[in-house]
Structure 1
Amino acid sequence: MLIPTEPTDRTTDRTYVRMNWTSLLANPSGLRSVYGGAVPDLGGLSLHGVEFQREGPSLMLRFDLPSYPADPPAKWAAQGFDTVQVVMGLSGVRTAALDGFAPDPVVDISLHARDGVTVEVASASVRLRATADTAYIARLSAYATTHE
């Protein structure tokens, strides 16, 4: 993700700083702790759900992260979990547009600092764009995708 900073000179050119998407979350510490600072990018995600709620108003995105932590919490390791699932919430949603949906969509999600936080979800079958006051992790959990 690229975030614009102050112009490098007196022209309209801007410099860009690469930032991790977690820097735009209100509560990134739990996610960073689980991944030891190496939080995966938001590309190639299995999107499980999109839920709009009138309270807030808010939007919830439920998805699996593309990689499992190298040193997961002991509880997750003991249960044989191999997939991390996140529910990302957006509160104070001001604009939202959803175009399409499909069974088992694999999407790319990006976050941008624009008049709050703008979240974009994109794939061949799904397009979603929303702008809100705050983005946060509502739930962080794990589960096993394989059964022995």
Structure 2
Amino acid sequence: MSWTALLDNPQVIDSIYRGSPPRLEGVNIHEVVLSREGPSLRVRFDLQEYPAQAPRKWQLQGFNTVQVQLHFGGLRSVEIDGFSVQPVGDIDISKDGMVEVVISSRETRIRAVADNVYVEKMNAYMDGP
């Protein structure tokens, strides 16, 4: 099962990637935010793959990287071990009643359990020269 099938709004990713979403391995993780509102966890990261048929707006602006922010609502638990200022890692999302996310890199491991997950933001930008 694709990770997008676990989202409350899979169409956000599936429409851009035409039903073949990229894997969440080796992603550049920009931030992980815990909020008492909800409570919730937000994860913002760059996908490794750029869509073969990107939206025209992205093409015209010369974008080459897609950034996604996932929102995990109704946060039940979170564990954080380690920290890095340049985390490149894997994100694994599963669901067995509750949504579980594990973010892992060589230096960091984050595990959280929540009620749901959805794409809060998705945009593109030019990474590098």
Q: Tell me the TM-score normalized by structure 2.
A: 0.98
Q: Which residue of 2 aligns with 1:136?
A: 118
TM-superposition CA deviations, 1:62-84 (whole Å, max 9, x none): 00001000000111000000000
TM-superposition CA deviations, 1:109-134 (whole Å, max 9, x none): 00111331000001111100000000
Q: Distance in 1 between matches of 2:73 and 2:124?
A: 24
Larger radius of gyration: 1
Q: Secondary structure at the match of 1:36?
A: coil
Letter in 1 for 2:15: S
Alignment of 1:71-110 (within 5 A): 71-110=53-92
Instruction: Confirm or deny that 1:58 pairs with 2:40.
Output: yes
Q: Which residue of 2 aligns with 1:33?
A: 15
Q: Distance in 1 between matches of 2:126 and 2:43?
A: 20
The worse-fitting range, judged by mean Cα deviation, of 81-90 and 111-120 is: 111-120
Q: Which runs of 5+ in 1 are unaligned?
A: 1-18
Q: Secondary structure at the match of 1:80?
A: coil
Question: What's the offset of the Cα at 1:28?
Answer: 0.7
Q: Which residue of 2 aligns with 1:10?
A: none
The runs of 4+ residues in structure 1 deviating greater than 3 Å are none
Q: Which residue of 30, 38, 43 corresponds with 1:48?
A: 30
Q: Which residue of 2 aligns with 1:14?
A: none
Letter in 1 for 2:76: R
Greater length-normalized contact order (CA 8 Å, ≥ 6 residues apart):
2
Instruction: Confirm or deny that 1:113 pairs with 2:95.
Output: yes
Q: Which residue of 1 aligns with 2:5?
A: 23
Q: Secondary structure at the match of 1:49?
A: strand
Identity among equivalent pairs (%):
45
Letter in 2 for 1:143: Y
Letter in 2 for 1:89: H
Q: Distance in 2 between matches of 1:98 and 1:83?
A: 27
Question: What's the offset of the Cα at 1:143?
Answer: 0.3
